[in-house]
Copies of this chain bind each other. A is one copy, B any other.
Amino acid sequence: MTVPQIAPELAVSRWFNSAAPLTLSSLRGRPVLIHAFQMLCPACVAHGTPQAEKAHRMFRETDLQVIGLHTVFEHHAAMTPVALEAFISEYGLTMPIGVDEAASDSRMPVTMARFAMQGTPTAILIGRDGQVQYHGFGKEDDMALGARIARALG
C-alpha cells in the first residue's frame, strides 16, 4: 500500500517536448503520471516508455499530464542529454520529458531520490490534490494503469 503523501517537486535540468518547464506545483489540480526511465533500460524501452507515450496520446482530451523523467543512476557517460535527444527522435516520443537533475554527491539524481524510487521503470500517479496515489516499480499492466488513470481523472 502506498501511504498518501504530497508529491515532492521535480528537479529537472532540461526539458524536451515542452515549450516551458513543468512543475508539480503549477500542475496542482490536474492528475499527473510520471514515467521514470533510462534510455538504456531494456524494460523501459520495450514496455514502460511506449506505455507512457500511449497514455499521453490516449488521454490527450483530458487534463491528465504525462511526464517522462530521465532518471539516470548508472552509465551516466552513455545516457547524456544529447543521447536522450536522439532516443526521443528515433522512438517518436511526443510526451514532455525532463532530465532529472544530477546530484553532486550521489549517482542517483535529485528527483529520483526525493521520490525514493527503486529503479526504472517507475510509474507514479499524482492526484489532483498533489498526493501520490500510486508508486510502482517495474512492469505495469496496461489495463490496470488505464483504470488508475481514469480513477485519478474521475
A58 to chain B, nearest CB (A): 6
Output the residue of A46, A86, A147 with the most chain B CB within 10 A: A147
**Could you tell me the dominant secondary structure of chain A's interface residues?**
helix
Chain B proximity mask over A45-61: 1 for CB below 8 Å, otherwise 0: 11000010011001100
Q: Give chain B residues whose Cβ lies under 8 Å from the Cβ of A42.
A: 90-91
Q: Give chain B residues whose Cβ lies under 8 Å from the Cβ of A134.
A: none
Residues of A64-88 at the interface with B, using a CB-CB cut-off of 8 Å, are 74-75, 77-80, 82-83, 85-87
Supposing A150-B154, A154-B150 touch, asked if A55 and B143 sit within 8 A by C-beta, the answer is yes
Q: A45-B45, A46-B46 are in contact. List 16 more A-B contacts (CB 8 A).
A: A40-B87, A54-B143, A58-B141, A58-B143, A59-B147, A77-B83, A78-B86, A83-B83, A141-B142, A142-B143, A143-B145, A146-B146, A146-B147, A147-B147, A148-B150, A150-B150
Interface residues of A (CB under 8 A from B): 40-42, 45-46, 51, 54-55, 58-59, 74-75, 77-80, 82-83, 85-87, 89-91, 141-151, 154
Could you list 7 examples of A-B contacts with CB < 8 Å?
A42-B90, A78-B85, A142-B143, A143-B145, A145-B146, A147-B149, A150-B151
